[in-house]
Structure 1
Amino acid sequence: MLNGFTPWPAQFAARYRERGYWQGRTLGSVLRRAALARPTATAVVDGERRWSYRELDERADRLAAGLAALGIAPEERVLVHLPNTAEFLALSFALFRLGAVPVYALPAHRETEIVQLARLAEAVAYVAPDTHLGFDHRELARSVRAQAPSVRHVLVAGEPAEFTALAAVDAEPDPLPGPEPSDVALLLLSGGTTGTPKLIPRTHDDYAYNLAAAAEAAGLDADTRYLAALPVAHNFPLACPGVLGTLHAGGTVVLSPTPSPEDAFRLIERERITVTALVPPLVLLWLEDAAHSAADLTSLRLLQVGGARLQPETAARIAPVLGCRLQQVFGMAEGLLTMTRPDDPEDLVLTTQGRPLAADDELRVVDPQDREVAPGGTGELQVRGPYTLRGYYRAEEQNRAAFTADGYFRTGDLVRQLPGGHLVVTGRTKDVINRGGDKVPVQEVEQLLLTHPAVHEVALVGLPDRELGERSCACVIARGAPPSRAELTAHLTALGLAAFKLPDRLAVLERLPRTALGKVDKRALAELLTGGAR
């Protein structure tokens, strides 16, 4: 067992096996089964490259043998820093079969994050492209080698300079002992990470259930053509159901270099894409571009949206503008997934974030004292279940705060649960501005501001204030002529918003800073605006 991993208690593990959540499968077998069933079908499209299931399967086997020949052993960690390329999939399955553990960094990460991850994971190898979107990762690799002594190998997809070309890591496949289904298969990065990163261990057993159940809930099958628009190193496009769920279903994965409408719409038309996934800010961008795009998007049948709260007003525009169904997804790399279903009434699809995948997802909604709130009340979501972690990797101190004594994960999300099980996500436990003792609920104010015709996008942040502790600032991207603060406060007052919730200040911006996961980076926004808002 990987040192630093917190397993499920024995009685829970036995229950999950008995009830069929954990089926004793490894992630390497996901591709193998599909390759045996559909060897000549197209598994992945990357630009002009098209690999069949047989070709992807064979490449993974040869790469696994090559990694073993380099001396990379089961349970050793490999830091994977690749964009949306076919090599990402071949390398992932190679590592799954070898039993080495990929640590998935995001393409936007740079020296600070990569060095931290390499040190925390004690990575023995770092895998990166030669260049991507104008950035030379070989320079970064030199810094990683200098600052993370555990890194023995640097493997480069492309021109390697003084390092090893990933294409050269190739050997005749030999039988490998492979991992156990209960072993850690991969390490994901927590979406809420600030400062010191938190790594999320996912086992073969639990992640295989995650991707298969999500694929079923999304209706994936052999005819699915899934566009990976978001970075596939992130849990949502990786396995919710994402690229792994698509391969499990026998469909085709199409990799987009960026999620921009320019790249994505071209691929939707060319490859007859049926399913894709976005975060809410990109939904807004796609909706704006689709209104005047000549691209043929008629093949698209399902758009998944997750990563942040999708406003009902935006949700209602998806079907008429993009011509496809919406599936709301709420989840976390730590485990729990909730999804709306195809047979849900429209009002639930537009206004909720769905219901849990598993009958054994145990949810409770609690107040700040960990007492369960009344049914339908709002509180912090806590969860445990067959695919929700029991501890971050090598993080004893953080785990004491993040988990209850009986094993529930404190998500930090504020929710209310409807009688049918659907969740409505209302914010984060810390997504509240403390204005002189009055608590301003950020998402409530943001949602109302979006109803003003001059507001295209908005983020409400708290700024330091001597008298009140914090004052609120509405950071607005305008639609046409920018509104004034007086216009916005009059609009909110007419909607019945309490006076203490009205924004104290207004900043009209051209763009909002974002994290590597595409969420608005409110910490960076507050730093940007300190002393600069009006």
Structure 2
Amino acid sequence: MTHSADRIARYTAAGWWTGDTIDQLLAAHVATRPDDTAIVDPLNKADLLDGPPKRLTWEQLGAEVERVAGVLHAHGIGPGDVVAVQLPNSVELAVSFLATVRLGATVTPFPMQYREYELAQLLPLSGARLLVSGRESRAPEGTPTLSWPGDLEGVPGPEIDAGPPRREADPAERVTICWTSGTEATPKGVPRCHYDWLAIEAICTAAPALTSRDVILNPFPMVNMAGIGGVFLPWLRVGATLVQHHPFDLPTYLGQIAAERVTYTLAPPALLTMLLHQDALLAKTDISSLTRIGSGSAPLPPSMVRGWQERHGIAIINFFGSNEGITLLSDPAHMPDPETRARFFPRPGAPGAPELLDRVSTRLVTPDGKEITEPGVPGELRLSGPTVFAGYLPGTAMADPFDEDGYLRTGDLFEIAGERGQYLRFVDRAKDIIIRGGMNIAPAELEALLAGHPAVAEVAVTGYPDDVLGEKVCAVIVSKESGLDLASLVDFLRGKGIASYKLPERLEIVDALPRNPVGKILKRELKL
């Protein structure tokens, strides 16, 4: 899907979309600050990829991107092609991403947890011509693959040394296809271009007031909104130092904050809540450089936001968004009270809201389609604006995500709040998504697989609270026979080659699943 000419004209005339491209942002830093540190590998790099940890200046990063773009070009990659990338957060991931964009091709990034089952579904849907991976490719046999370091590290050859042909990118051309696990069993493809990615970047850069002096620690996989829009592109805009982290390991994470003098990072609310109660652990770690933390994906406990601010002088920024369209944020500049910042979001267009949110148009709508204008009435949040995507990749979604007025249906319930109606308050996720440690899990996918287990008569999958990860997966099952246990379910799913983070960690055996009069399972009655 691409944006219409009318939409491009409207948003460029308003100044919301500009002629900037991702490659231009890189080139500007290479030219003006070549000797400054650009990007740093995770400390545990050897556990993830072969080769020593790297620390590149902007000049070195630019040279690496040019070289790898030459390798990809020599393998036939050019404008409009799709390159799948499955790498941990690392210098190599950033280089692969930027080199693909340099050629006018599209990056489709996959989480490291994806295995044969997921890749066999999504590689054909994406149209990827090849996969860039690390030491171990999990793609189906026969998938064209280039690996780090073997195929991409220091590759000689005159056709590569010459570099790819120079080109000027069109800001409307597709940059990424990310994948979102909705209520449908198969993830949906979310294409994005320079225009809408950099509109998202503008909001995510402004909220923490990032500058070139910042050191940003990124623990979120660079596969969707948090990793790309929340960290990678803001880093590229301001020219800060990016410190990569993967997979999440608390001692390593805290060690990087201390060693690299990190000033800004992201973390899920459950982790921040847990850390706040670990006084002994924090006392042994130097976090004095850290001034603000971005969080989201679940409601923020007001006591947690206040605790970080009062005990450590660190402001928590509350983000709410999705792969399809970033929407809301509460930052300390506009909402200095930490409890207000945790409970509410500024209503776009209302007095006191961040100026950048004026670009976002929101509506709350009742189930029968009526717009809500009074406080205290829950309704589905719908939105439009320059951060909203153009539509799902053809063949990956069953329904149009937009309403008759062109607003994105988010499936999330909010209500108007505040004495002047100046806030929006999150009420609930209308969707059934389970968010485990920042990773989305679609219950429908697991339900479809578990229905094939010989001992399962009926199944529903739901989330249950976890202090560290936010949620974990529970399978609620009506069994055909006695003796069914969690281990056999997990073994069955492992046999399907499914990613390990999706595996159920709890099993409940019931006599019957709760259903409404038309037979639909009542997931709200299964919440544990």
User: TM-score w.r.t. structure 1 length?
Assistant: 0.75
**C-alpha distance in structure 1 between counterparts of 2:463 and 2:504, whole Å:** 14
Q: Deviations over 1:230-268 (max 9, x none)?
A: 21223212222x022012111100111233321111000
- The 5 Å alignment of 1:270-419 reads 270-293=259-282, 294-343=284-333, 344-346=335-337, 347-354=339-346, 357-376=356-375, 377-395=377-395, 398-400=398-400, 402-418=401-417, 419=420
Q: Confirm whether residue 176 of structure 1 aligns to residue 172 of structure 2.
A: no
Match of 1:17 among 9, 12, 16: 12
Which 5+ residue runs of structure 2 have no aligned equivalent?
A: 44-52, 349-355, 436-446, 448-457, 469-485, 491-498, 512-525
* Deviation of the 1:358 alpha carbon: 3.5
Are the equivalent residues in 1 in contact too, given 2:25–2:236 (CA < 8 A)?
A: yes
Q: Tell me whether 60-69 or 261-270 shows the greater mean CA deviation.
A: 60-69
In the TM superposition, what are the counterparts of 1:23-172 in structure 2 within 5 Å? 23-46=18-41, 47=43, 48-130=53-135, 137-138=136-137, 140-141=138-139, 144-146=140-142, 151=143, 153-158=144-149, 160=150, 164-165=151-152, 167-168=154-155, 171-172=161-162
* Compared CA separation, residues 323 and 193, structure 1 to 2 (3 A): farther
CA 1:291/1:331 → structure 2, altered by over 3 Å: closer, same or farther? farther
Kindly provide the CA deviation profile for residues 435-460 of structure 1, in whole angstroms up to 9, marking residues without a partner as x.
xxxxxxx99xxxxxxxxxxxxxxxxx
Separation (CA, whole Å) in 2 of partners of 1:103 and 1:219:
29
How many aligned positions are there? 438
| Counterparts of 1:282 and 1:207, CA distance in 2 | 27
Q: Check conservation: 1:298, 1:323, Cα contact below 8 A.
A: no
> Which SS does the other structure have where 2:415 is aligned?
strand
**Alpha-carbon spacing, 1:322–1:255, altered in 2? closer, same or farther (3 Å):** farther
Q: Secondary structure at the match of 1:258?
A: coil
With normalisation by structure 2, the TM-score equals: 0.76
Which residue does the alignment assign to 1:243? Answer: 232
Q: What is the CA–CA distance in structure 1 between the aligned matches of 2:427 and 2:216, rounded to whole Å?
A: 30
Secondary structure at 2:222's aligned position in 1?
A: coil
Aligned pairs (5 A) from 1:473-512: 475=464
CA distance in 1, matches of 2:463, 2:229: 35
**Please, which moves more after superposition, 192-201 or 302-311?**
192-201
Q: How many angstroms apart in 2 are the aligned matches of 1:205 and 1:263?
A: 35
| In the alignment, structure 1 residue 426 sits paired with structure 2 residue 427 | yes
Are 2:213 and 1:208 equivalent residues in the alignment?
Answer: no
Per-residue deviation, 1:531: 4.1
User: Residues of 1 paired with 2:94 and 2:463: CA distance?
Assistant: 41
Percent of aligned pairs sharing the same letter:
27
1:254 matched to 2:243? The reply is yes
CA distance, structure 2, for counterparts of residue 252 and residue 410 of structure 1: 36
| 1:206 to partner: Cα distance | 1.4
Q: Is the 8 A contact 1:76 1:100 kept in 2?
A: yes
Deviation at 1:361, TM superposition (A): 1.2
The alpha-carbon deviation at position 44 of structure 1 amounts to: 0.3
Going from structure 1 to structure 2, the CA distance change for 1:420 and 1:368 (only over 3 Å counts) comes to closer
Give the distance between the partners of 1:313 and 1:186, measured in 2 at CA. 37
Contact (CA 8 Å) 2:270, 2:467: kept in 1 or not? no
SS in 1 for 2:205: helix
CA displacement, residues 38-77 of structure 1 (integer Å, 9 cap, x when unaligned): 1111010114421011111121112112211110121111
Corresponding position of 1:528: 507
Q: Quote the offset at 1:475 in angstroms.
A: 4.7
Q: Is the 8 A contact 1:98 1:178 kept in 2?
A: no
Corresponding position: 1:197 with 2:187: yes
Contact 1:237/1:277 (<8 A) preserved: no
Distance 1:471 1:396 in 2: 23
The 3 A distance-change label for structure 1 pair 333 and 69 is same
Runs (5+) with no aligned partner, structure 1: 131-136, 433-441, 444-462, 464-468, 480-508
RMSD: 3.3
Measure, in 1, the Cα distance between the counterparts of 2:345 and 2:325: 15
Structure 2 counterpart SS, 1:254: strand
What CA distance in whole angstroms lies between the structure 2 residues aligned with 1:302 and 1:339? 14
Separation (CA, whole Å) in 2 of partners of 1:191 and 1:276? 25
Per the TM alignment, residue 280 of structure 1 is displaced from its structure 2 partner at its CA by: 1.9
| Cα 1:265–1:474 shift into 2, 3 Å | closer
Cα pair 1:222 1:249 within 8 Å, conserved:
yes
Structure 1 distance, partners of 2:462, 2:201, is: 40
In structure 2, distance between residues paired with 1:336 and 1:378: 20
Aligned-partner SS, 1:528: strand
Contact 1:40 / 1:52 at 8 angstroms: preserved in 2?
yes
Distance 2:460 2:194 in 1: 47
Please state whether the residue corresponding to 2:178 is helix, strand or coil. strand
CA distance in 2, matches of 1:265, 1:91: 27
Equivalent AA in structure 1 for residue 256 of structure 2: L
Letter of the structure 1 residue corresponding to residue 141 of structure 2: R
User: C-alpha separation between the residues in 1 aligned to 2:184 and 2:153?
Assistant: 31
Matches within 5 A, 1:216-227: 216-227=206-217
8 Å Cα contact 2:29-2:239 kept in structure 1: yes
CA distance in 1: counterparts of 2:344 and 2:37, whole angstroms: 35
Partner of 1:493: none
- Measured in 1, the distance between the counterparts of 2:421 and 2:54 equals 45
Q: Secondary structure of 1:303's match?
A: strand
How far the C-alpha of 1:420 sits from its partner, in A, is 5.9
